[in-house]
């Protein structure tokens, strides 16, 4: 993300749509990319990017220019993505309804069959969204713990704990299906 002049931040805080548009164009790519890492679907990421900036605009009075726009936007984007994951989990009638974006891995491990990968992805989709989001960002997307902690508004230790719990529950789910990871 790029830095923006403090005058733009102050004008945005006062409700200037022009300043908001400047910030939107400066940060939309980074916000979109962050959300895409979580929801893994380009169309949904676009919708949530607009939702995120809508929330940002609504919350402009609470924005503190001294703390920077980037981290604040990322926290709101993470919250919007988490809300979406929760809503999707409630809408799912069965785990099979979950559409997993199954792109082939860049370097596929021959020892792990496509069926196991699919079952792993489905089992992962059954985890609580707050565990899933932490594991996705840390394990899959290999984002630094510090950034993930800031985005989720929790400590680094709490991020590590969530990742550990996600992996442990995933392993348990797979074992119940007769898969020994």
Partner 1 sequence: MNAHDEDRMKKLLQQALPPVNGEAEPQRDLWPAMLRRLDARPQAAPWYDWALVAGLVGVVAFFPASIPVLLYCL
Contact positions toward partner 1, by CB under 8 A?
17, 21, 24-25, 28-29, 32-34, 36-37, 40, 42, 45-46, 49-50, 53-54, 57, 100-101, 103-106, 108-109, 112, 116-118, 120-121, 124, 135-136, 139-142, 164, 167-168, 170-171, 181
Residue 119 CB, shortest distance to partner 1, in Å, is: 8
Residue 100 CB, shortest distance to partner 1, in Å, is: 8
- CA 9, 12, 16, 22 torsion-angle sign: positive
Residue 10 CB, shortest distance to partner 1, in Å, is: 20
Rg (alpha carbons) of the chain, rounded to whole number: 18
CA 100, 112, 129, 92: dihedral to nearest 10 degrees? 40
Can you tell me which residue has the tokens 């993300």?
Answer: 1
Of 124, 126, 131, the C-alpha closest to 158 is 131
Pick between residue 66 and residue 110 the one whose CB is nearest to partner 1.
110
Residue 93 CB, shortest distance to partner 1, in Å, is: 22
Pick between residue 67 and residue 90 the one whose CB is nearest to partner 1.
90
Pick between residue 61 and residue 103 the one whose CB is nearest to partner 1.
103
Pick between residue 40 and residue 162 the one whose CB is nearest to partner 1.
40
Cβ neighbours of 127 (radius 10 Å): 22
């Amino acid at each position: 993300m790029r830095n923006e002049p403090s005058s733009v931040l102050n004008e945005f805080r006062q409700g200037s749509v022009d300043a908001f548009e400047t910030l939107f164009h400066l940060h939309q790519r980074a916000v979109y990319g962050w959300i895409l890492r979580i929801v893994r679907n380009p169309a949904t990421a676009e919708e949530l990017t607009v939702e995120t900036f809508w929330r940002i605009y609504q919350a402009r009075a609470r924005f503190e220019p001294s703390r920077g726009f980037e981290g604040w936007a990322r926290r709101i984007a993470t919250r919007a993505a988490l809300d979406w994951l929760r809503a999707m989990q409630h809408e799912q009638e069965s785990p099979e309804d979950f559409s997993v974006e199954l792109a082939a891995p860049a370097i596929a491990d021959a020892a792990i069959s496509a069926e196991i990968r699919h079952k792993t992805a489905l089992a992962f989709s059954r985890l609580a969204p707050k565990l899933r989001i932490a594991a996705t960002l840390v394990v899959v997307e290999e984002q630094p713990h510090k950034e993930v902690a800031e985005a989720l508004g929790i400590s680094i230790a709490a991020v590590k704990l969530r990742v550990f719990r996600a992996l442990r529950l995933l392993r348990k789910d797979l074992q119940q299906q007769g898969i020994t990871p």
